[in-house]
Chain A
């Protein structure tokens, strides 16, 4: 399939529960062979959207099409899924857990190959309940890969992992991405999305607030750099300065093309600059800019 052809199309998706609307009409297309990210805070509707795309949750309205067809046996055979939270069957080893899922598909990779891909060789005979968080995620990734999927769904795959385990997991995902598999990733880690995703949608309260390649979105919404200052050190009088100021709970962010001119203005307004941090804008800033509230709850 050519890279630009959408492999999955999501059209006007709505998921309504008795007391809340989890997804309030979202539409997007995922190109084959790309890593597509759904970003947003907890409760934004990412997981609900992805579970509808996986075919395990019915939408209230709207539809998902896989290779131009409604979801069905083909999409299920072609999908590899790593849920946010999954328990496996007790008393099975790593190898037996992978073998169980391998036999549920008509085609796929050899169990040993998947074990090697996810660097689980030394853990193959271990009881799956006796794995660390990072090892457990690698096992769940192996299970997601066992049918040699065309589309891989990763729902918050590194939540709860320590930084080292997270980086190891990212390396694994990058190696899978290099095989031109389509990856759908949900995350609230901006660093993860910036590193792995070719295209993203940012969701908030069930709606899409921005959509596109991360770097293009950042260019569209931000000037070159961001100046960051502790909020309590920013005098009230300085808020009236002709600057593009964003306030979060503990800091003030100033977006500017003219670094020198902005610094001169701040010095003239006697703003203490000893804790000043200058950095390029990231997706977290974009989210703050678009929604007016912070990404992490």
Chain B
């Protein structure tokens, strides 16, 4: 069994490495995206002042300050995560209106300085608690998103179209005439794509990270485990789509149907902070959301295994479900 699996894995790797066009595209696209997006959206500027309020919902009648124009008030319920955002200057000020108003401001934030003046004009007695921390550059925040997006496309389209091409050309039918089993074939495809994705992701992480002066706050080993589980989940998702269909149009359509919502809702480009709850529910279904949330937690906030364990568990579980369904519904030939 191992010999057959390795034979298919080796042949697939040779095929990929020799397909220079695809190889180059796989490496250069994410590189160009990170540099391009970092350039376009560089710097920490945001159009509005953003004030976190420790409450479940914002009631503008609760305090005159909450009626200030050009200030985006974001309800936050967890004090420690809210303070974390303030440290990274993801919000400019944090306000607690329970009892005597008190607030936290990042002393290194110019926008925090201005919005503090606005607050004190409306609530002169509010007590001040300073925090400090450098601003998070957009490109630092974007970096895990681009890595995750590249991973998603590579997993879904890379595996989906390859299996479809093999089926349409009759190569799968020829393999079916040998002792090779569906499980061996699919495992070889998963491992081939997984090794490729890990290679590209690590290469990008190191090279673009050096280029941007980015350093992960958390463990690189944990990031590797996250990348493996995230890639497995999304490769398996690609296999469920390609498992039995033979129409390129249908498979292309289904893959687009999956990738576009993930592109928009998984938090590649912008945070879902403050978005309606139903959007968050939809986003939480996508493996990519869990990859990005966990990656940002590790890379930006130095989170450990315990903090991202729910994300890791979700990715492992979905990988098993998708792979099981893919193997069950797999077809060697065009019906």
Write out the residue numbers on chain A whose beta carbons fall within 8 Å of the beta carbon of B19: 90-91
Does A88 sit within 8 A of B, measured CB to CB?
yes
Min CB–CB distance B311 → chain A (angstroms): 36
Cβ contacts B5-33/A at 8 Å (1 or 0 each): 01110111011001100000000000000
Whole-angstrom distance between the alpha carbons of A89 and B171 in the complex? 7
Cβ contacts A74-90/B at 8 Å (1 or 0 each): 00110101010111111
Do the beta carbons of B8 and A100 come within 8 Å of each other?
A: yes
Write out the residue numbers on chain B whose beta carbons fall within 8 Å of the beta carbon of A54: 177
Do the beta carbons of B15 and A92 come within 8 Å of each other?
A: yes
Do the beta carbons of A91 and B14 come within 8 Å of each other?
A: yes
Do the beta carbons of B169 and A87 come within 8 Å of each other?
A: yes
Does B276 sit within 8 A of A, measured CB to CB?
no
Does B332 sit within 8 A of A, measured CB to CB?
yes
Do the beta carbons of B178 and A76 come within 8 Å of each other?
A: yes
Of the candidates A76, A81, A103, the one whose C-beta lies within 8 Å of that of B6 is A103
Given contacts A85-B170, A103-B3, contact A92 B179 (CB under 8 A): no
Do the beta carbons of B173 and A56 come within 8 Å of each other?
A: yes
Write out the residue numbers on chain A whose beta carbons fall within 8 Å of the beta carbon of B166: 89
Do the beta carbons of A56 and B170 come within 8 Å of each other?
A: no
Cβ contacts A198-237/B at 8 Å (1 or 0 each): 0000000000000000000000000000000000000000
Whole-angstrom distance between the alpha carbons of A106 and B11 in the complex? 18
Min CB–CB distance A50 → chain B (angstroms): 11
Does B333 sit within 8 A of A, measured CB to CB?
yes
Residue of A nearest to B12 (CB): A89
Does A267 sit within 8 A of B, measured CB to CB?
no
Whole-angstrom distance between the alpha carbons of A23 and B202 in the complex? 55
Whole-angstrom distance between the alpha carbons of A88 and B177 in the complex? 13
Does B102 sit within 8 A of A, measured CB to CB?
no
Do the beta carbons of B170 and A90 come within 8 Å of each other?
A: no
Given contacts A89-B171, A103-B6, contact A56 B177 (CB under 8 A): yes
Min CB–CB distance B7 → chain A (angstroms): 3
Given contacts A56-B333, A92-B14, contact A76 B179 (CB under 8 A): yes
Do the beta carbons of B173 and A100 come within 8 Å of each other?
A: no
Whole-angstrom distance between the alpha carbons of A118 and B184 in the complex? 29
Residue from A81, A88, A90, A92 with most neighbouring chain B CB atoms (10 Å):
A90
Given contacts A56-B332, A56-B333, contact A100 B7 (CB under 8 A): yes
Do the beta carbons of B179 and A106 come within 8 Å of each other?
A: yes
Of the candidates B15, B175, B179, B333, the one whose C-beta lies within 8 Å of that of A73 is B179
Does B4 sit within 8 A of A, measured CB to CB?
yes
Write out the residue numbers on chain B whose beta carbons fall within 8 Å of the beta carbon of A104: 4, 7-8, 175, 178-180
Does A28 sit within 8 A of B, measured CB to CB?
no
Whole-angstrom distance between the alpha carbons of A54 and B332 in the complex? 14
Of the candidates B11, B177, B332, B333, the one whose C-beta lies within 8 Å of that of A79 is B177
Cβ contacts A90-105/B at 8 Å (1 or 0 each): 1110001001110111
Does B88 sit within 8 A of A, measured CB to CB?
no
Whole-angstrom distance between the alpha carbons of A101 and B174 in the complex? 10
Write out the residue numbers on chain B whose beta carbons fall within 8 Å of the beta carbon of A91: 14-15, 18-19
Min CB–CB distance B1 → chain A (angstroms): 10
Q: How large is the interface on A (under 10, 10 to 19, 20 to 34, 35 or more residues)?
A: 20 to 34
Min CB–CB distance B331 → chain A (angstroms): 12
Residue of B nearest to A90 (CB): B15
Write out the residue numbers on chain A whose beta carbons fall within 8 Å of the beta carbon of B4: 103-104
Residue from B19, B174, B175, B333 with most neighbouring chain A CB atoms (10 Å):
B174
Of the candidates B10, B171, B178, B332, the one whose C-beta lies within 8 Å of that of A86 is B171
Residue of B nearest to A99 (CB): B7
Do the beta carbons of A83 and B174 come within 8 Å of each other?
A: yes
Whole-angstrom distance between the alpha carbons of A68 and B230 in the complex? 49
Does B176 sit within 8 A of A, measured CB to CB?
yes
Write out the residue numbers on chain A whose beta carbons fall within 8 Å of the beta carbon of B177: 54-56, 76, 79, 81, 83
Write out the residue numbers on chain A whose beta carbons fall within 8 Å of the beta carbon of B6: 103
Do the beta carbons of B179 and A96 come within 8 Å of each other?
A: no
Write out the residue numbers on chain A whose beta carbons fall within 8 Å of the beta carbon of B7: 99-100, 103-104
Cβ contacts A45-65/B at 8 Å (1 or 0 each): 000000000111000000000
Given contacts A92-B14, A100-B8, contact A105 B178 (CB under 8 A): yes
Whole-angstrom distance between the alpha carbons of A81 and B175 in the complex? 10
Do the beta carbons of B14 and A96 come within 8 Å of each other?
A: yes
Within 8 A of A (CB), among B108-135: none
Residue of B nearest to A76 (CB): B179
Whole-angstrom distance between the alpha carbons of A76 and B332 in the complex? 15
Write out the residue numbers on chain A whose beta carbons fall within 8 Å of the beta carbon of B176: 56
Residue of B nearest to A153 (CB): B177
Residue of B nearest to A104 (CB): B178
Min CB–CB distance A211 → chain B (angstroms): 26
Residue of A nearest to B185 (CB): A104
Residue of A nearest to B175 (CB): A104
Q: Beyond the given A89-B12, A89-B15, A92-B15, could you list 13 further A-B residue pairs with CB under 8 A, ordered by the A residue number?
A: A55-B177, A76-B177, A76-B178, A77-B179, A79-B177, A83-B170, A83-B174, A86-B170, A86-B174, A89-B166, A89-B171, A91-B15, A104-B179
**Which chain B residues have a beta carbon within 8 Å of chain A's beta carbons?**
3-4, 6-8, 10-12, 14-15, 18-19, 166, 169-171, 173-180, 332-333
Q: Give the 6 A-B CB pairs with smallest separation, nearest first.
A: A87-B169, A103-B7, A91-B18, A104-B178, A81-B177, A100-B11
